[in-house]
Amino acid sequence: MLTEFVVTDVKQSNLDLAREYGATEVINTGTPEGKARLEALKAKPFDLVIEAAGVAETIQMAASLARPGGRVAVFAWHHAPRALDLGLWHMRGLKVLNTAPGIGTDRKISHMERAARLLERGVFNLSKLVTHRHPVSEVQEAMELSARRPEGYIKGVLTFEA
């Protein structure tokens, strides 16, 4: 079985990190070459596309890169309403996966619980992805920083002191 892990971004540092984490291809969509490659990928769409940027352009691009009957996982927090080409979504019969932990439809065991067990076992090492830590008492500042996403920000976590 052929497995591809293609990552697109406009930040080269994120693409370098994606390559380090096992991406089979990285595409800088901020360049003409990257935009052309993204268009070429539409000819052979993916079973699963994960949208993690949280901007209007990427959620629609995710739909155009998913095969008919494929899945689009919305991993990003979209801060504003989005207009989508629902004709494309409908005609492709896309399944939308909501990655919010409390919303999962698998009631036997949540995906978040499975992911936590994999992290505990050391299957995934997120040390390079967590760039900011905040005590829970600073939750407001943490959320504001996550919405601004300054250079160097990838993922923030809240810590709970005992």
Closest residue by Cα to residue 95 from 46, 39, 41 = 46
Would you say how long the chain is, in residues? 162
Give pLDDT, residue 126. Answer: 83
Q: What percent of the chain has pLDDT over 70?
A: 90
Task: State whether 74 and 154 are in the same domain.
Answer: no
Task: State whether 29 and 82 are in the same domain.
Answer: yes
Q: How far, CA to CA in Å, does 111 sit from each of 9, 47, 76, 92, 138? A: 25, 19, 16, 25, 27
Question: What is the pTM for the complete model shown?
Answer: 0.78
- In terms of residue numbers, what domain contains 147? 126-162
Task: State whether 43 and 70 are in the same domain.
Answer: yes
Is 80 exceeded by the pLDDT of residue 110?
A: no
Task: State whether 66 and 130 are in the same domain.
Answer: no
Task: State whether 55 and 112 are in the same domain.
Answer: yes
Task: State whether 113 and 141 are in the same domain.
Answer: no
Question: What's the rounded Cα separation, in Å, for the pair 88 and 96?
Answer: 13
26 in a structural domain = yes
149 in a structural domain = yes
Contact 151, 161 (CB under 8 A): no
Is 90 exceeded by the pLDDT of residue 89?
A: yes
Is 80 exceeded by the pLDDT of residue 97?
A: yes
Task: State whether 83 and 136 are in the same domain.
Answer: no
- What is the secondary structure of 76-112 as a DSSP string? S---S-----HHHHHHHTPEEEE--GGG-S--SS-HH
Q: How confident is the model at residue 119 (pLDDT cuts 50, 70, 90)?
A: confident
121-156: pLDDT as tens digits: 988 888 888 999 999 999 999 999 988 888 889 889
Question: What's the rounded Cα separation, in Å, for the pair 27 and 21?
Answer: 15
Give pLDDT, residue 148. Answer: 87
1 in a structural domain = no
Closest residue by Cα to residue 92 from 62, 57, 63, 134 = 63
Q: How confident is the model at residue 120 (pLDDT cuts 50, 70, 90)?
A: confident
Is 60 exceeded by the pLDDT of residue 1?
A: no
Task: State whether 116 and 151 are in the same domain.
Answer: no
Task: State whether 69 and 143 are in the same domain.
Answer: no
Task: State whether 107 and 92 are in the same domain.
Answer: yes
Q: CB-hemisphere CA count at 13 Å for 157?
A: 9
Q: How far, CA to CA in Å, does 44 sit from each of 91, 100, 144? A: 17, 28, 38
34-81: pLDDT as tens digits: 999 999 999 999 999 999 888 889 999 999 999 999 999 998 888 889
Task: State whether 116 and 66 are in the same domain.
Answer: yes
Q: What percent of the chain has pLDDT over 90?
A: 56
42 in a structural domain = yes
* CATH code of the domain in which 84 resides: 3.40.50.720
Structure tokens, 132: 């900011």
Give pLDDT, residue 103. Answer: 64
100 in a structural domain = yes
Task: State whether 57 and 19 are in the same domain.
Answer: yes
Structure tokens, 47: 């079973």
- Report which of residues 134 and 115 the model is more confident about: 134
State how many domains the chain has.
Answer: 2
